[in-house]
Amino acid sequence: MSPESEPIVGIDLGTTHSLVAVCDETGPRVIRDADGEGRVPSVLAFGPDGRVTVGWEARRHAEENPLATVFSIKRLMGRGFDELAASGELAHLPYPVVKRASDTPGRDIAAVEIHGRLMTPPELSAIVLRELRDRAAAYLGRSVRKAVITVPAYFDDAQRQATRDAGRIAGLEVVRIINEPTAAALAYGLGVRQLLGEPVRRPSAPRTSLPVGLSGACPSAQTGSAAPPADPESVIAVYDFGGGTFDISILRLSDGVFEVLSTHGNTRLGGDDLDREIIGLICREVRERFGLDIESPATRQAVRTLAENVKIRLSDHSSADIEIDLGGDRIYRRTITREEFEGMITPWIDRTLDSCRQAMRDAGVGPGNIRQVVMVGGSTRIPLVRRRVEELFGRPGYTALNPDEVVAMGAAVQAAVLAGTRRDALLLDVIPLSLGIETMGGAMGKLILRNTRIPCQATERFSTFVDGQTSVRIHVLQGERELAADCRSLGAFELRGIPPMPAGIPKILVTFLIDENGILNVSAIEERSRRQAGIQVVPAHGLTAAEVERMTRESLQHAREDMTAHRLIDLRNQVAFDTAKTEDMLAKVGSRLEPSEQEAVRRDMEALRRLAAQSDDADAIFKALQAFDRRTVRLAELAILATLTESGP
Amino acid sequence: MPTDIQHDTRPQKDGPSRPLLCESCSRPMESPLCCAGCGALNPLPPSMFDYFELFGIAPEFDIDVADLRRRYLTLSRSVHPDLVAKSSEENRRRALQLSSGLNRAFDTLADPVLRAEYLLSLAGGPEPHQDKSVPPELLEEVMTLRERIDEAVRDREEAALADVRDRIRQGRTHSLDRIAGLCRSGLDDPATRRELRLVLNAVKYWNSLQNHLPASAASGPEHP
């Protein structure tokens, strides 16, 4: 990164973990903590005093504080409360999710309630983003204001918008939203070029004091998984099975151009769901054996952690033992074998393979055309996943890249492209879901089909239905189903101010423009009157621009409050220290002051102590402290003099 | 409620006179999207040019798709918004417009059916909404095949499914061959254009049948 250009960081905002990476001329690198850990758990713990902890620390508190520990926020992003409730998603979360009151009818915003305060998923994600931003700023030694953030390829428009909003609330300019499997392909693809022997500058030394193998994307350090492709143009698949989402993307790589041919997936299918299979098993058996329901949030949280550990253990071991003390001499003991676990998760894995078949069909390729299957996301560590992927594609998955880190590194590479620091990679991506409008009779009229390259544009011609009609209502939809009711509503808008004309005469051109972020922009013009409408499609489950604005302000306010809390503690310490010192000086040299001044110092000292104990107004305490210091200048001089006299000859 | 919805993909015929000169360096431009010499992006919207012109190739059905792809990638490197992310607002706006036009042109020309549809449109139609007829015997066969798919899926009869898949491929391939033949014969004659319209409509039925197949049965490379 040249000093004059502002850094753009790459952020993988994950369901269970998030990471931040930077890329300079030496290549991408994940920014790590002192222990060498790049992952930050996407977990927030709220203390009763309103203080938030993020990451590992928050995760450790999850069991003590289940109602105020928030995780899996990503599964809530861009979704309405009704939709979440209907999907059964909320039953799995120990923390309370409620429907937020909205001034606009028809909008349905979900929010998490913490200590009586409602926070929307973008606000919660913003706290994670701020943590990553600060981590990057500390590493780079300068402030960070711009980021590329990754999303699952199968995220719809509302989910992408929610991610953007989160970035804005965190005080980040989201210069680009990119798809996670595409980011992974970027990191993979650049590695491939290294293997092909093309000159790529390598880091001379890692900037952090870490073992080299930990810090880079460099696949040459890999322990030979699969052979590199022999020619520079090849079709690859990225199988991305993360904590909360699944994506499959098929790409063609040619000479630094990463062309996505198709993508498919499921934004509600991830490692979380596999954990839930184990949780379900435990709950069922506890009920059968002891007639108990695991209801307390703390126990549920403990079971959740246990289930995750069991899943992870079963990747390396053939069985895992469970023991839960249910109190009153009731102990639940159980051994889960890998085979049993595989039986439970097979239906989920089958669904990922269906997506793979659909993606291949859409790309017009078969398993034989695919040169490599790049495995991304923590869930690809599961042996059954690897086995089934190998069966489908007829070759072992490529597991040489760290499946947790490759997405963040790809995001950093794309950030470097956008910052203008590298021009050797170009992503050509597609939209995952078709876009259209509701037409007469409640049908979905597709304007832009799924897997269309972006940016893209489509224009439809409309007219009025009755004589003298001055407005038309356009309902924007996303999805593959035939009926509007089965597709996702992105919002509706009206084009007003059409001059009164007989029905069918006005020529209304509505243009859908999907920008390089995969986000839809709509514009409309009535051709005869050249009347133009600026239209903003506000997703029914999303935040309005004004709301994002307010939350951005509030989050700054909270940052200030957090700072104020620190400052108050510091000031109170200072008050205690200064008054104790004054007390000491008064005892030693107080008699040398005028009695009235002695009295004034004592009076001010008490007032300051009272203020510090009772007030939360840091500024007032600071001013009072300064005034008190001025008041005691004479006393301090006398004390110094006395000290000099005592120690003198 | 809106009615009367139709795609308007017809290019405007009265484009600027050729050869086009770069407004920045005055050199002739190979592609009307951007100048190969100085890299300047054309301020004119890509809708003023036909898709073949954008790639600098002749408007024919038989094109070299590999060559088209190379041209597409080269042009993308000049007009994609990512690569002008740091330049002026105006340049970024142009890049968005040019690359969305380029993407649409590539998707259209790379696919033989869409390419034929586009050639028909250039030749004066009929457009899809003007004539929706299909060969009469087709509808009946499509219905029968659809039922056979549903039955085979229900009864898990892999062999029956494979049979239907082969029949669909055969039917589709036959239509594609016919399309190619008609396009090669030239589209000046209105009768040829009407027949092309008919076969293009038929392909849509084959495509929808193919999508009706379960993904597991449909796998296998179409055009590797």
Assess whether A298 and A335 both reside in one domain. Answer: yes
Using DSSP bridges, classify how beta strands A456-463 and A508-514 pair: parallel, antiparallel or unpaired.
antiparallel
Phi-psi map region of A342: left, alpha, beta (phi>0 left; psi -120 to 50 alpha): alpha
A130 and A14 within one domain: yes
Chain B environment of A515 (Cβ under 8 Å): 81, 96
Mean pLDDT, to the nearest integer, of A436-463?
86
A475 strand-pairing partners: A492
Residue B59: inside a domain: yes
Could you tell me if residue A208 is inside a domain? no
User: Do B32 and B74 fall into the same domain?
Assistant: yes
| Nearest residue, CB atoms, B220 vs list A366, A445, A460 | A366
Q: Indicate the range of A77-81, A316-320, A406-410, A470-474 predicted with least confidence.
A: A470-474
Mean pLDDT of all residues in A238-251: 94
Angstrom distance (rounded) from CA A621 to CA A629: 12
* Domain housing A538: 435-542
CATH code for the domain in which residue A572 is found: 1.20.1270.10
Nearest to A465 among B3, B80, B82 (CB): B3
B96/A366 Cβ within 8 A: no
Mean pLDDT of all residues belonging to chain A: 84
Q: Are residues B212 and B140 in the same domain?
A: yes
pLDDT tens per residue across all 224 residues of chain B = 444 454 444 444 444 445 677 777 777 777 777 777 777 777 777 777 889 988 989 999 999 999 999 999 989 988 888 887 777 888 888 888 899 999 999 999 999 999 999 999 999 889 888 888 888 888 888 889 988 888 888 888 888 888 888 999 999 999 999 999 999 998 999 999 999 999 999 999 998 888 888 766 654 434 33
The rounded radius of gyration (Å) of the Cα atoms in chain A is 30
Considering the domain architecture, whether residues B92 and B171 belong to the same structural domain is answered as no
Task: Verify that A256 and A307 share a domain, yes or no.
Answer: no
Confidence of residue A280 (pLDDT cuts 50, 70, 90): very high
Whether residue A290 sits in one domain with residue A255: no
User: Which residues from B are below 8 Å from A176, CB to CB?
Assistant: 82
Q: Answer whether B1 sits within 8 Å of A461, measured CB to CB.
A: no
Residue B78 lies in a domain: yes
**Residues A251 and A295 both lie in one domain:** no
CA B39, CA B33: separation in Å to the nearest integer? 10
pLDDT cut 90: percent of chain A above it: 40
Q: Contact B2/A255, CB-based, under 8 Å?
A: no
- How many Å lie between the alpha carbon of B70 and the closest alpha carbon of chain A? 10
Cβ distance of B96 and A254 shorter than 8 Å: no
Q: Which of B2, B6, B99 sits opposite A465 (nearest CB)?
A: B2
Domain shared by B155 and B201, yes or no: yes
Residue A402's nearest CA partner among A248, A533, A222, A561 is A222
The CATH number for A360's domain is 3.30.420.40
pTM value is 0.79
Last residue of a domain, one of A305, A330, A345: A345
> Which CATH number belongs to the domain containing residue B38 in this structure?
1.10.287.110
Q: Which of A11-15, A449-453, A590-594, A616-620 has the lowest mean pLDDT?
A: A616-620
Which of A502, A517, A542 is the endpoint of a domain? A542
- Are residues A185 and A108 part of one domain? yes
Least trusted range by pLDDT, from A160-164, A326-330, B49-53: A326-330
Q: Are residues A350 and A339 in the same domain?
A: no
Question: Which has the higher per-residue pLDDT, A557 or A585?
Answer: A585
- Residue A488 — pLDDT band, cuts 50, 70, 90? confident
Indicate whether A155 and A76 sit together in one domain.
Answer: yes
Q: CB of A585 within 8 A of CB of A640? A: no
Q: Has residue B129 been placed in a domain? A: no
Domain for residue A215, yes or no? Answer: no
Please indicate, yes or no, whether residues A424 and A439 belong to a single structural domain of this protein.
no
Q: Would you call A362 a catalytic residue per the annotation?
A: no
Note whether A448 and A430 are within 8 A (CB).
no
| Position with higher pLDDT, A475 vs B41 | A475
- Indicate if A250 and A317 belong to the same structural domain: no
Q: Are residues B143 and B62 in the same domain?
A: no
What is the domain count for chain A? 4
- What tens digit of pLDDT does each residue of A505-550 get? 888 888 888 888 777 888 888 888 787 765 656 555 667 767 777 7
Average the pLDDT over each of A65-74, A209-218, A291-300 and give the range with the smallest value.
Answer: A209-218
Residue A495's domain is classified under what CATH number?
2.60.34.10
Chain B interface disruption, residue of A355, A452, A453, A461, most B CBs within 10 A: A453
Q: What pLDDT does A44 receive?
A: 94
Cα–Cα distance, A635 to A591 (Å, whole number):
10
Are A257 and B77 a contacting pair at CB < 8 A?
yes
Which residues fall within 8 angstroms of residue A204, CB to CB, at 6 or more apart?
A26
Give contacts of B76 with chain A, Cβ < 8 Å: 257, 426, 428
Could you tell me the pLDDT band of residue A194, with boundaries at 50, 70 and 90? very low
| Substitution target from A361, A434, A435, A473 for chain B, most B beta carbons within 10 A | A361
Query: A3 lies in a domain?
Result: no
Among residues A121, A382, A367, the alpha carbon closest in space to that of A275 is found at: A382
Q: Are residues B141 and B207 both part of a single domain? A: yes
Are B154 and B103 members of one domain? no
Residues B63 and B146 in one domain: no
Give the pLDDT score at A246.
95
Q: Are residues B155 and B209 in the same domain?
A: yes
B209 and B175 fall within a common domain: yes
State the average pLDDT over residues A613-637: 84
Of A428, A462, A496, which residue is a domain's last?
Answer: A428
Cβ–Cβ contact B88 with A under 8 A:
no
Q: Which of B51, B76, B110 is the last residue of a domain?
A: B110
| Whether pLDDT at A635 is above 50 | yes
Residues A243, A268: Cα–Cα separation, whole Å: 10
* B3 belongs to a structural domain: no
Q: Is A325 a catalytic residue?
A: no
Residue B67 sits at the chain A interface (C-beta within 8 Å): no
Quick check: A85 pLDDT over 80? yes
Q: Are B24 and B80 in a shared domain?
A: yes
Mean pLDDT lowest among A340-354, A464-478, B106-120: A464-478
Do residues A155 and A231 both lie within one domain?
Answer: yes
Q: Is residue A557 part of a domain?
A: yes
> What pLDDT shows up at residue A147?
97
Q: Is residue B85 part of a domain?
A: yes
* Domains identified in chain B, total number: 2
pLDDT band with cut points at 50, 70 and 90 for residue A104? low
Determine whether the interchain pair B103/A455 forms a contact, defined as Cβ–Cβ distance below 8 Å.
yes
Domain that holds residue B46: 19-110
| Residue B156, in any domain of the structure | yes
CA distances to A20, A82, A85, A474, A540 from A108, rounded to whole Å, are 32, 7, 12, 20, 6
Instruction: Express as a percent the part of chain A with pLDDT over 70.
Output: 87
> A230 pLDDT band (50/70/90 cuts)?
very low
The answer on pLDDT for A647 being more than 70 is no
Q: What is the mean pLDDT of residues A169-189?
A: 92
Q: Are residues A289 and A241 in the same domain?
A: no
Q: Is residue A207, in this structure, part of any structural domain at all? A: no
> A–B: how many Cβ contacts below 8 A?
123
Q: How far is A453 from chain B (nearest CA, A)?
A: 6
Q: Are residues B101 and B149 in the same domain?
A: no
Helix orientation angle between B65-79 and B89-110, rounded to the nearest 10 degrees? 170
* Inter-chain residue contact A459 with B5, CB threshold 8 Å: no
pLDDT of residue A176: 92
Q: B21, B30, B38, B29: which is closest to B56 by C-alpha?
A: B30
For residue A440, give both structure tokens: 């007469």
What is the band of A105 on the pLDDT scale with cuts at 50, 70, 90?
low
Looking at residue B170, what is its pLDDT? 92
Residue B87 domain flag:
yes
In a domain, A505, yes or no: yes
Let me know if residue B12 belongs to a domain. Answer: no
Using CB atoms within 10 Å of the CB of residue A360, give its burial: 0 to 12 exposed, 13 to 18 middle, 19+ buried.
buried
Chain B residue with minimal CA distance to A505?
B4
Residue B96 to residue A513, Cβ atoms within 8 A: yes
- How confident is the model at residue A363, as a pLDDT? 92
Assess whether A12 carries a catalytic annotation: yes
Chain A CB within 8 Å of residue B110 CB = no
